[in-house]
């Protein structure tokens, strides 16, 4: 059946300007990190991508190593693009990244010009594209001069293979250096993609100030802490959850009794606002305008629909924000002194 995008797709989505650039991103973007690989259902992936677009999500975030196996998420997205979204290419923001391991030998990971450009060429082939809208250096490489990595990003833009460039997982100091180099090259840093959530707030300690200084935006990945900030773990760790599996990103050790105490308290606040915990957590990430977009993952269409509905209630009262801070403080701070 031929896909036709919903006519009302732009009526309810909120779009935020990426700092001082001319680009706007949807407040909720869809990441294809998990559940869009070669071991997953192509039809389910297709339904999630097209439904996201119908809801106004114009930004789809990928990386060379997304799957599993690596590369398969880009291949799946390329299929959906060719089958369904090709007529809407100019309405889409498609991003990909390179930095993590992709192939054997000395040129298959990190931040060299050789690797970044080779990887982007492979990504474009997998997706059937002439260019991506945003290309990221996926992680800081301590063994390659930062000038080389940033000059590769500059070259990629000047070659027409990406419209903008970003970085991901860079500490604040290296972000400042990268932004300064790119500024000198005439290809400004558009955006940083850091991990950020109620339970992981490292970007508040310097990184956000650097991004403000250089006029760069941010898009937060794992705003729901891979499901910890949803109703999945309110009654403990389910046997069929990712935390019980072999994942190196989330396991039982990451979900302590103290974390569960915080999650349950936050869920009570969410319920009082008429929101799910996931909606509450997404609204918090977007609360003050310093985060351009929250990057969600999904395994089914209903999760995307629930997450987008968070945008109907983004405001927090000062009392709510104070209560959230009291919940998120370490346990020792909340206990009375003896």
Three-state helix/strand/coil letters over the chain: CCCCCCCCCCCCCCEEECCCCCCEEECEEEECCCCCCCCCCHHHHHHHHHHHHHCCCCEEECCCCCCCCCCHHHHHHHHHHHHHHHHHHHHCEEEEEECCCCCCCCCCCCCCHHHHHHHHHHHHHHHCCCCEEEEEECCCCCCCCHHHHHHHHHHHHHCCCEEEEEEECCCHHHHHHHHHHHHHHCCCEEEEECECECCECHHHCCHHHHHHHHCCEEEEECCCHHHCCCHHHCCCCCCCCHHHCCCCCCCHHHCCHHHHHHHHHHHHHHHHCCCCHHHHHHHHHCCCCCCCEEEECCCCHHHHHHHHHHHHCCCCCHHHHHHHHHHHCCHHHHCCCC
C-alpha torsion sign, points 12, 290, 63, 91: positive
CA distances from 33 to 90, 221, 233, 296 (A): 23, 10, 21, 9
Q: Give pLDDT, residue 256.
A: 87
CA distances from 165 to 141, 216, 247 (A): 16, 11, 30
Q: Give pLDDT, residue 29.
A: 98
* Closest of 7, 49, 18, 26 to residue 217, by C-alpha: 18
Largest CA distance in the chain: 68
Q: Six-digit token pair at 206?
A: 């310097």
* Closest of 203, 202, 216, 207 to residue 292, by C-alpha: 216
Please list the rounded mean pLDDT of every run of 10 residues in the chain (338 residues). Answer: 96 97 98 95 97 98 97 98 98 98 98 98 98 98 98 98 98 98 98 98 98 98 96 76 52 78 97 98 97 98 98 98 95 42
* Closest of 80, 83, 111 to residue 94, by C-alpha: 80
Q: Give pLDDT, residue 238.
A: 63
Domains of the chain: 15-236+278-312 (3.20.20.100)
Distance CA(113)–CA(308), nearest Å, equals 37
Distance CA(232)–CA(238), nearest Å, equals 8
Distance CA(75)–CA(264), nearest Å, equals 39
Contact 182, 151 (CB under 8 A): no
Strand partners, 193: 168
Q: Give pLDDT, residue 278.
A: 98
Q: Give pLDDT, residue 71.
A: 98
């Amino acid at each position: 059946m031929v896909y036709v995008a919903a006519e009302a797709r732009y009526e309810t989505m909120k779009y935020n300007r990426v700092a001082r650039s001319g680009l706007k991103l949807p407040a909720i973007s869809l990441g294809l990190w998990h559940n869009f690989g070669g071991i997953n259902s192509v039809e389910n992936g297709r339904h999630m991508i097209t439904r996201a677009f119908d809801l106004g999500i114009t930004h789809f975030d990928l990386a060379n190593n997304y799957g599993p196996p690596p590369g398969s998420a880009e291949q799946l997205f390329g299929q959906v693009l060719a089958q369904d979204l090709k007529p809407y290419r100019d309405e889409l923001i498609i991003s990909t990244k390179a930095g993590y391991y992709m192939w054997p030998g000395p040129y298959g990971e990190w931040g060299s010009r050789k690797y970044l450009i080779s990887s982007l060429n492979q990504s474009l082939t997998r997706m059937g594209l002439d260019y991506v809208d945003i290309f990221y250096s996926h992680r800081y490489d301590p063994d390659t001069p930062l000038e080389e990595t940033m000059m590769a990003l500059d070259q990629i833009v000047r070659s027409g293979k990406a419209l903008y460039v970003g970085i991901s997982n860079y500490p604040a100091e290296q972000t400042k250096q990268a932004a300064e180099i790119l500024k000198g090259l005439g290809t400004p840093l558009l955006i940083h993609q850091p991990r950020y959530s109620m339970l992981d707030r490292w970007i508040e300690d310097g990184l956000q100030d650097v991004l403000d200084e250089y006029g760069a935006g941010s898009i937060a990945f794992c705003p729901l802490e891979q499901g910890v900030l949803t109703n999945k773990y309110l009654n403990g760790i389910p046997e069929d959850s990712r935390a019980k599996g072999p994942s190196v990103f989330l396991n039982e050790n990451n979900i302590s009794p103290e974390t569960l105490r915080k999650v349950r308290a936050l869920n009570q606040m969410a319920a009082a606002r008429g929101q799910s915990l996931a909606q509450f957590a997404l609204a918090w990430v977007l609360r003050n305008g310093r985060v351009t977009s929250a990057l969600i993952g999904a395994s089914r269409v209903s999760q995307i629909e629930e997450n987008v509905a968070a945008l109907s209630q983004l405001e927090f009262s000062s009392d709510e924000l104070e209560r959230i801070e009291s919940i998120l403080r370490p346990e020792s701070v909340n206990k009375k002194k003896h």
